[in-house]
Amino acid sequence: MKKVLKLLLFLSLVDILVGLYYFVCLILPKVQMLYSNDLTVYDNQNEVIIQTHHDVTGQYVSLKQMSPYLPIAFIAAEDQNFYQHYGYDLGGILRAAFNTIFKGNTQGGSTITQQLARTLFLSNEKTLSRKIQEAILTARIEMNYSKDEILEQYLNSIYLGHDLYGVAVASRYYFNKSCQDLTLDEAAMLAGIANAPAINAPDIHYEKALKRKNYVLSNLYENKQITKEIYETYKNIDTPIQIQPLAKENAYQFYQREIVKELKNLGLYTKKNLAVGLNIYTSFSTKVTDIVYQVLQQFRPNTDTQAAILVLKPYTNQILAMAGSFSVEDEYNRALMSVRQVGSTIKPCIYYMALDYGFTPISKFKSEKTTFHIEGIGDYSPQNSNHVYANRDITMIEAVAVSDNIYSTKTLLFLGTSKLNDFLSLFGVEARNEVPSAALGVHELTLLQLASIYNTFASEGKYYEPKFIQKVTDKRGKVLYQAKQTGKQILNPATTLILNQLLRAPFDANAQGYATPTLLNYQPDAIYAAKTGSTLQDSLVVAYNPNYTIAVWVGKDNNGPLYETSLSRKMFEEIANQLTTKENINDWYQKGLFLKEEKINPLTGYFDPNGSYYWFKD
């Protein structure tokens, strides 16, 4: 008697709560669903480069694009009263309640709509609050969408094992065919997976998959959707599977991972937004990307040496290409995540400050073995590469050309070590190294931070925060994010132009004196300003002209010694050459009205009719 009273009380409460929650759902805003979990990524020419569905290559498909057997098979497998109920199968609820109260065990009674609400909008946690949210969302979905629209969303979102969501990608994986071409027994087998993918997937437990397939066929026969003859025919055959592994990783799948990370950082990768689907407009160039990844494969060593590459577009915030490893399958993006000492690539920052202070490209310091006595620090003795010194006064041109450490140290000490930190802060880099060794690049930056500094030089002193996501809209066209397109003039344009011409010195044969210019043997076809940098574990080249800023890092993750020291230079030269066309081969900066051009002997600093062109304030 007590159990009967419990049941009556339960039913009364259910009646009250059902009426209440339907009223609440009626007055709430419409649940938005469109192309759920579809991400379409566009390049800088607005061409589609990535199309994913639930993070796997593919896209949302309509009911019309599916085999007619798929809808009826999933309804037979998961929710036989789908077209009769309003989000909840009361028979299923009562059955679950009866088993809970009278038998002491639990049984699920989730409908297709409930499953859809969970998949699109909720987490997997089993809490009371989530159950309440599920109830409200289920009713709102049923109130705002037709049964066919709900079923279509469900078939595009159902989990079918192996990180496969939706019937389109699952059909490709299990049967190597379009979901439009599935036969009745294939559709039944696919529908049978949904109940427990880890158990029922045919490539995991084929016999259990056949059993579930036959369960689906039996329900279809009992519901008079197939004849007995058809049921008997398909029940007694072993449905063949043809496992088709998902596409191999490529550059664009690497981009996809980085885009998802950035969407999460922007707070846009939410269930609410994904339920509608997203369009992502990027700055990536297909042409430049293909060049970068071809070069990576061309120069990939058979060692544990790693690489990262960035190509930026001057005068914009655009990242045209990005690589974080020699392997696209490597999820560690060294271009954005690895913080390393930058070596001598820091020196143009020091020389910009010196030029802005009043130095010129022919200002001289003596290059010799030197010990500096620094108050509060002690003695400091920087060394040149291979312990080679000019033992004479050298110009800034020669110092840049051969990357002289004594000259850069004297210059920074003259300016004050804190000045370099102040300079880096203009680019959002927090630096605290007020030490003389900062002149040799002990500051740690990501490759993107370093490239953004050089891209500012390339943009004549205007800083643009680099972004590869330019705009995000949902599939209805609503703009969710727009990157800032305008730059900020943070450096003196005239000083920057003098520096740009000065950074031609690493390619200048006239600058060969006590040492060889660092890029003398790596001159690309087009005109570039550039600086190299190295540590025991790293080798860098950062170069630019009005069209491209190219940053190449090669090094060791484990901080072991790097032996492929010329690899970054070879890769830079190859990328630069492949980017060169007959239209841009001679592109360079205009010195303007306030600068003058002089032919200079880089070793003496004097005018020389056979010298090289460098720029000075007029």
State the pLDDT at residue 304: 94
State the pLDDT at residue 96: 45
Distance CA 71, CA 17 (A): 31
* Cβ-contact 211, 159 below 8 angstroms: no
Residue 193 identity (one-letter amino acid): I
State the pLDDT at residue 323: 97
Distance CA 294, CA 250 (A): 11
State the pLDDT at residue 103: 46
pLDDT in tens, 40-69: 999 999 999 999 888 777 788 999 999 999
The catalytic site residues sit at: 78, 344
* Cβ-contact 179, 167 below 8 angstroms: yes
* Cβ-contact 456, 355 below 8 angstroms: no
Distance CA 553, CA 559 (A): 14
The packing angle between helices 112-121 and 128-144, to 10°, is 110
Distance CA 172, CA 604 (A): 70
Residue 24 has pLDDT above 70, yes or no: no
Q: Given pLDDT bands bounded at 50, 70 and 90, which one contains residue 104?
A: very low
3-state secondary structure 41-60: EECCCCCEEEEEECCEECCC
CA neighbours within 13 Å on the CB side: how many for 210?
Answer: 11
CA neighbor of 373 nearest in space, from 301, 284, 436: 436
Mean pLDDT of 313-340: 95
CA neighbor of 456 nearest in space, from 488, 408, 418, 501: 488
Q: Residue for token digits 């045919």? A: 202
Q: Residue for token digits 């690489």? A: 307
Distance CA 209, CA 240 (A): 11
Q: Residue for token digits 């009826």? A: 72
CA neighbor of 365 nearest in space, from 404, 337, 333, 326: 404
State the pLDDT at residue 191: 95
Distance CA 573, CA 552 (A): 10
Supply φ then ψ for residue 254, to 5 degrees: -65, -45
3-state DSSP assignment of residue 187: helix
Residue 426 identity (one-letter amino acid): L
* Cβ-contact 431, 448 below 8 angstroms: no
Output the six-digit token pair for 589. 């900066």
What single string gives the DSSP state of each residue in 71-112? HHHHHHHH-TTTTTSSSS-HHHHHHHHHHHHHHS-------H
Please list, in sequence order, all residues whose beta carbon lies within 8 angstroms of the beta carbon of residue 452, skipping any fewer than 6 positions away: 312, 427, 463, 464, 465, 466
Q: 85 or 24: which carries more pLDDT confidence?
A: 85
Go through the domains of the chain in sequence order and give each one's CATH number: 2-30+61-235 (1.10.3810.10), 287-617 (3.40.710.10)
CA neighbours within 13 Å on the CB side: how many for 227?
Answer: 3
Q: Given pLDDT bands bounded at 50, 70 and 90, which one contains residue 247?
A: low
Rounded mean pLDDT of the chain? 91
State the pLDDT at residue 133: 85
State the pLDDT at residue 550: 98
Dihedral angle, C-alpha 460, 322, 573, 569, nearest 10 °? 100
Output the six-digit token pair for 224. 């008079």
Residue 107 has pLDDT above 80, yes or no: no
pLDDT in tens, 440-462: 999 999 999 999 999 999 999 99
pTM score over 0.75: yes
Distance CA 38, CA 473 (A): 12
